[in-house]
Structure 1
Amino acid sequence: MSDMVGSALLRRYVGRRLEALRRRAGLTQEQAADALQKGRATIARMEDGHEAVRFRDIDVKAMLELYGAEPEDGRILLALTAETRNGRRKSWWHDRTETELPAFFALYVSLEDSAETIRQYEVELIPGLLQTRRYAEEVHGVPTGYIDDDEKQRRVEVRMERQSLLTRPRAPHLSVILNEAVLHRHIGGREVMVEQFEHLLDLTRRGNISIRVLPFTAGVHGGMAASTPFALLTFPADPQSGEPLEPPLAYVDTLTGALYLNKPGESGTYQLVWEDIDRRSLNEDESRSMITSALEALREA
């Protein structure tokens, strides 16, 4: 399996397969824990793919036997659990999840790091993956009194480090749709916005990044139903089974928490919203022209 598939994603996939086998065997977590002489919390952590779980062969084999797993299922799961112990690629965020990353955001960062495609709709500001440092510093400075200067700088550093996933080998494809209002909301003054718009135009030249604008002339659009910015993530498939390692995810961020929506009816609804705004947005060339016009207006001001 590709080294580009992060450990967190693989663990979650293994956990879901173990849970499916347990349910197929007609066992509750409590019953499985009693039979395996484990605590119910241990079974729950394994099925959640918790980072602290080692997935030892002896434990996984005992579960497979208890659940009556088919030989092929057992072979695949033992191979996958071995990969979780194989010293897989350590991502930048591993050392930050307990400190600089809010707990509700740490999971998103780990999933973003393993995504195959990332689609984002933004209403008010440039998305974090596309921000310059000075723009990010301005954004993290509000509301006054929410975080201190040290925390602000930590969060800016995290944001800058997140952007490295766009330039690594086999980087995900990022598609961004910006409400036109984003281009008219001047953050940090003229110099900050000139630098930010120049950065956006540079990013449009990369093959794995698409930046488009939803113009005011589009009128009513699906993003109004969502009412907030959101991201849609899709993930690589397991080469053994062909199944996605993680269901498609819709992510909605708030100031103090987040929504992780991966049930088909949930993520599917956001997919409909994306399809609607995708139809109404300018194409890439038209969007680049609109960003260029905004940049030139600032330079001439």
Structure 2
Amino acid sequence: MLRRQIGRKFEALRKAAGITMEDAAERLDRARATLYRIENGAETVRFRQADVEQMLNLYGASAEEAELLLAMTAATRENKNWWHDYIGSGLPRWFNLYVGLEASAATIRRYQNELVPGLLQTRAYAEQVFSMPGGAVNIAEPNDVQRAIQLRMERQAILTRFSPLQLSVILNESVLRRQVGSPEIMSEQLNQIIKAAELPNVTVKILPFSAGLHAGAMTGAFSILEFPRGKDGEVVEPTVVYIETATGAIYLDKPHEAGTHSDIWKDMEGRTLNESKSRSMMQTIAEEYGNA
């Protein structure tokens, strides 16, 4: 989030100065691609103080703006998030942004049509997922697969941390019915979801087959992440829609993109079972697996 905020501030300063990205790149003697990465909050950018000062001077930043951006960019050199140790092994670089956004989010709404969300998976269920082609994409070594699974387990701490995020999950009934691994694994997994749903900040609802056609049928799985607001209630970080693919991910943060997915969510939520009936369905199916 810090890098994304830095990027937006630099972009706003550049545009306010009436300077195109091409002109800025030429006058700063930097590649246009580098400026693009800065303004998009790329993790790979390293902010040297001299480079930051040069940009601030070119864009005509005020003393207050300069002081703030110098402090923010300095923080990127000092801070290392816990998940950075997983980059290049258990954590593909394209997923790094999502983990950072997830850790910073105030609320996440997650729709899953095929699999249990990572934040609710048991280790045994996760091991089955990562054993499938595409489940361990960009992970070559067996030890790295185990590191990726461990990362998934550690991410779940955001549900029980001090001031935890609000997680709302809609699961297609197929998530419950599709057996992943053994019946014992599925029974354990469904019971874990039921237990997680007892947390005051977690809601899980089931979209039953009987709901018929719904808006999510055309989209597949997605997450909507919303972030804490500033002291005056202003939006500090725009809502982000996250969609994962077999080889990467899509991040959508334009208002109409977030709005469209919110409308899809509302349509599905209106067709779900309530929390009590959802829990009953999960308990019934968990018992079926337990007796298999």
Q: State the TM bucket, normalised to the shorter chain.
A: 0.7 to 0.9
> How does the TM-score come out when normalised to structure 1?
0.85
Specify the code of the residue in structure 2 equivalent to 1:255.
A
Report the identity percentage: 48
Map of 1:26 onto structure 2: 18
Map of 2:173 onto structure 1: 180
Distance in 2 of aligned mates of 1:25 and 1:111: 30
Root mean square deviation, CA, Å? 2.6
Distance in 2 of aligned mates of 1:36 and 1:191: 61
Map of 1:114 onto structure 2: 104
Map of 2:249 onto structure 1: 258
How far 1:129 moved relative to its partner?
0.9
User: Which residue of the other structure, out of 281, 284, 291, is the alignment partner of 1:290?
Assistant: 281
The runs of 5 or more residues in structure 2 that have no matched partner are none
User: Which residue of the other structure, out of 202, 220, 233, is the alignment partner of 2:213?
Assistant: 220
Specify the code of the residue in structure 2 equivalent to 1:253.
E
Map of 1:153 onto structure 2: 146
Matched, 1:299 2:290: yes
Matched, 1:274 2:272: no
> How does the TM-score come out when normalised to structure 2?
0.87
Q: 1:169 to 1:91 in 2, by over 3 A?
A: farther
Map of 1:139 onto structure 2: 129
Q: Is residue 37–residue 45 contact of structure 2 (8 Å, CA) maintained in 1?
A: yes
Q: 1:255 to 1:44 in 2, by over 3 A?
A: closer
Distance in 2 of aligned mates of 1:22 and 1:189: 57
Residues 137-146 or 279-288, more deviating: 137-146
Q: Is residue 133–residue 156 contact of structure 1 (8 Å, CA) maintained in 2?
A: yes
Q: 1:15 to 1:195 in 2, by over 3 A?
A: same
Map of 1:229 onto structure 2: 221
What pairs with 1:22-61 in structure 2 (closer than 5 Å)?
22-36=14-28, 38-55=30-47, 59-61=51-53
Distance in 2 of aligned mates of 1:94 and 1:287: 37
Map Cα deviations across residues 47-101 of structure 1 (whole Å, 9 max, x no partner).
Answer: 233445454555444433432345554454345345445x44x432111122222
Residues 209-218 or 55-64, more deviating: 55-64
Q: Is residue 46–residue 55 contact of structure 1 (8 Å, CA) maintained in 2?
A: no
Residues 285-294 or 258-267, more deviating: 258-267
Report how many residues are paired.
289
Distance in 2 of aligned mates of 1:284 and 1:81: 44
Q: Is residue 76–residue 240 contact of structure 1 (8 Å, CA) maintained in 2?
A: no
Residues 178-187 or 140-149, more deviating: 140-149
Specify the code of the residue in structure 2 equivalent to 1:30.
E
Map of 1:124 onto structure 2: 114
User: Which residue of the other structure, out of 161, 164, 168, is the alignment partner of 1:168?
Assistant: 161
Specify the code of the residue in structure 2 equivalent to 1:215.
P
How far 1:257 moved relative to its partner?
2.1
Q: 1:61 to 1:155 in 2, by over 3 A?
A: closer
Distance in 2 of aligned mates of 1:34 and 1:130: 48
Distance in 1 of aligned mates of 2:207 and 2:269: 8
User: Which residue of the other structure, out of 202, 208, 224, is the alignment partner of 1:209?
Assistant: 202
How far 1:102 moved relative to its partner?
2.1
Q: 1:51 to 1:169 in 2, by over 3 A?
A: same
Residues 99-108 or 212-221, more deviating: 99-108
